[in-house]
Amino acid sequence: MRTWVRAAATGSAGLAAALLVAALLAGALLIGAPARADTLRIDTREGLRQAIVVPAGPGPAPTVIVLHGALDTAGGAARRFGFAEAAAARGFAAVFPQSIGVQWNHGGRGLSSRADDVSFLHLLVGELVAERIARPDRIYIAGVSSGGMMALRMICEAAELFAGAGTVIASMPSGAECRPARPVPVVMFNGTADPIVPYHGGGVGPLNLGGFVWPAERTAEFLAQVNGCDPQPARHDASLGIRSVTRVAWSRCERDASVTLYRVNGGHHSVLGRRRILTALLGRRHDELSAAETIMAAFAGE
């Protein structure tokens, strides 16, 4: 496993301290990380920040940055949600950054982080390009729950960095200011019975500690409007084993920046197609549709 540190605006003493902190944090970050993973550590104004990097191979490649949810870790996201495997199957590098604490600063109200995550992700993109891991024109961002809200914030504030975005069980935080600099294609997955990030909008989590979000369909409609799409979406219902999913797709958009919402009817706060941890007790999942596979297929132009 390769590890490298980028130190921004630090002297030798600062770099030595950064290396020490890196060694102390490595175990917690990389629990469950893929065997081929490297670790990128960036010295920021807020201290050392980290990301798991699963390269696609020699030379720059299309790259997806995947943001974990609240109370999760980069290693957990790399292990459980299927993005690492779906990216590798398509020749993409996969990158899993770690938030400060257990939450991203997605710009909404509630107990979100106060870290400057927008600047951190800007730096991360720059380092991925400088290290010849990522193609600058083929960098995508995806996120689960709180990470999905952070992905939406990046589209609102740094659309020029990304060729596409995917969100899972996430909606636009209420109070967020969203003025994307250019259209960005987006794929969303939301469950209609989600008790944490409610499909029809409202408070997030127990006692609304996560703030408030827009309804999922309002989020998608807003993004479609920003992207100059046809205001009338196409709808397609499909039965997938024990679930039904409605695909709501806005097309004929500027820069081909389509917006697609997969409404998981009766779906809860879970990632469709994810691997269960307690398979022996809960049984294997038989979802015929995987959020990670679907989002990565869209990024790959399949």
Evaluate whether 67 touches 150 at the Cβ level (below 8 Å).
yes
CATH number of the domain where residue 78 is located: 3.40.50.1820
For 259-286, the pLDDT digits (tens) are: 999 999 999 999 998 654 433 433 444 4
pLDDT at 6: 45
Radius of gyration of the chain (CA): 18
At 278, the amino acid letter reads L
Using a pLDDT cut of 70, give the percent of the chain over it. 81
| 292 φ, ψ (degrees, to nearest 5) | -65, -45
Evaluate whether 128 touches 13 at the Cβ level (below 8 Å).
no
pLDDT at 188: 98
For 191-246, the pLDDT digits (tens) are: 999 999 999 999 998 888 778 999 999 999 999 999 999 999 999 997 666 678 99
How many folded domains does the chain comprise? Answer: 1
In angstroms, the CA 225 to CA 295 distance is 21
H/E element, 149: helix 146-158
For 7-64, the pLDDT digits (tens) are: 333 334 443 443 333 333 444 454 455 557 899 999 898 899 999 999 998 889 999 9
Residue with tokens 């590798």: 88
Average pLDDT over residues 68-73: 93
For 89-106, the pLDDT digits (tens) are: 999 999 999 999 878 999
Strand pairing category for 61-67 and 134-144: parallel
- Residue ranges making up the domain that contains 267: 3-299
Evaluate whether 78 touches 54 at the Cβ level (below 8 Å).
yes
In angstroms, the CA 176 to CA 190 distance is 19
